[in-house]
Amino acid sequence: MDTIDQQLLKIRACFDLDTLLSTEIDGAYTMSYYSKLSKWYRLLHSKEGAMHFPLYLDEASDHHAALHVPANRIASVIRSKVTQSQRSIKVLELGCGHAYNSLYLSQAFSKQPVEFTAVDFTPNNVKWANAKVKELGIDNLRVVQADFEALTKDFGQFDVVFATESLCHARNVERLFRSIQEVLQQEGQLVVFDGYCTKSAAEQSDKEALASRLLAMGFAVETFAAIEDWIQLGKEQGLSLMQKDDISAAMLPNLQRFQSGSDRLLSYPRSMRFLRSLRLLPELTARHLIAGALAAPLLEAGVIAYYQLVFEKL
């Protein structure tokens, strides 16, 4: 029995999987998840508002530095656009959450001709981010409530579009890429940090499919897209892949901590079922525990992988 089997056994002892898996994870579910949990992310994960995983890469030695890794990598893409261009550069963040990345980048580029826009569809995230923009006196960032699957040319034309751990929530990937292609300038770049299945649905074993679906559910994601299918859909919308880095190993230190916390609670199945029967364990917390139990084993087994992707609109 491998680690994924062992984790599934623990989960089955605590939860009724059929009931769990019957939930429809659509846009309304995702928005309600973030409406309820964003404040907990600020309390337990990052008081500055990051909602993505820390990446232990590029000599990042602590949680704070590791949370800045995606933004620092995006900054290099922006810097090269600034160097190549005679005009002001426009940058758009998709699914910005509290705009942690855009707040950081807009301050880093405050003395250069770069204008930032960030969108998110969860109203309280946008409200929190706008309060921060005001508090910090930032004048080169606007945060707007919008669905990143429904942007049109009128929204603006951007030289760099980026997203950290938000595009996995897209309900329709073709629609998402059409939306991005509407707002990305010719030769503009799309930079993505996110998790994907390494195999298509047809190639996964039943166990892999079940475990990755439970993992996705814990993060309010319908299903993690298969990486090659996702890249192909981008290509069909005129976005050519320039860079694909598997940086899964950089996630593991944090995911292993997440797993040991979840495992501790899941080792008391009777208490878990009792607490749930009395509704003392909130549903979203229960689902998060399941994600915690499965994320590291699925990454270690290579079923799920985390990538930095860079596309260019040709």
Ligand X SMILES: C[S@@+](CC[C@H](N)C(=O)[O-])C[C@H]1O[C@@H](n2cnc3c(N)ncnc32)[C@H](O)[C@@H]1O
d(C-alpha 144, C-alpha 168), whole Å: 20
Supply the minimum distance, in Å, between the C-beta of residue 283 and ligand X: 18
**103 neighbors 51 (Cβ within 8 angstroms):** no
Q: Which is nearer to ligand X, 115 or 222 (CB)?
A: 222
Q: Which is nearer to ligand X, 30 or 254 (CB)?
A: 30
Give φ, ψ of 139 to 5 degrees: -115, 10
Q: Which is nearer to ligand X, 46 or 262 (CB)?
A: 46
Edge-to-edge strand ranges of the sheet holding 239-246: 141-145, 114-120, 89-94, 158-164, 184-197, 304-313, 239-246
**Residue 176: alpha-carbon gap to chain centroid:** 15
Q: Which is nearer to ligand X, 227 or 291 (CB)?
A: 291
Q: Which is nearer to ligand X, 38 or 204 (CB)?
A: 38
Supply the minimum distance, in Å, between the C-beta of residue 41 and ligand X: 8
Q: Which is nearer to ligand X, 120 or 300 (CB)?
A: 120
List interacting residues with ligand X (CB under 6 A).
30, 34, 50-52, 95-97, 100-101, 119-122, 125, 147-149, 164-166, 169
**55 neighbors 69 (Cβ within 8 angstroms):** yes
**Residue 144: alpha-carbon gap to chain centroid:** 18
Supply the minimum distance, in Å, between the C-beta of residue 233 and ligand X: 16
Supply the minimum distance, in Å, between the C-beta of residue 202 and ligand X: 26
Q: Which is nearer to ligand X, 51 or 91 (CB)?
A: 51
**254 neighbors 54 (Cβ within 8 angstroms):** yes
**304 neighbors 210 (Cβ within 8 angstroms):** no
Supply the minimum distance, in Å, between the C-beta of residue 143 and ligand X: 11
d(C-alpha 28, C-alpha 294), whole Å: 25
Supply the minimum distance, in Å, between the C-beta of residue 31 and ligand X: 6
d(C-alpha 224, C-alpha 200), whole Å: 10
Supply the minimum distance, in Å, between the C-beta of residue 86 and ligand X: 30
Could you tell me the CA-to-CA distances from 116 to 57, 74, 186 in Å, in that order?
Answer: 25, 13, 18
Would you put residue 197 in left (φ > 0), alpha (ψ -120 to 50) or beta?
Answer: beta
Q: Please give the residue whose beta carbon sits closest to ligand X in the complex.
A: 97
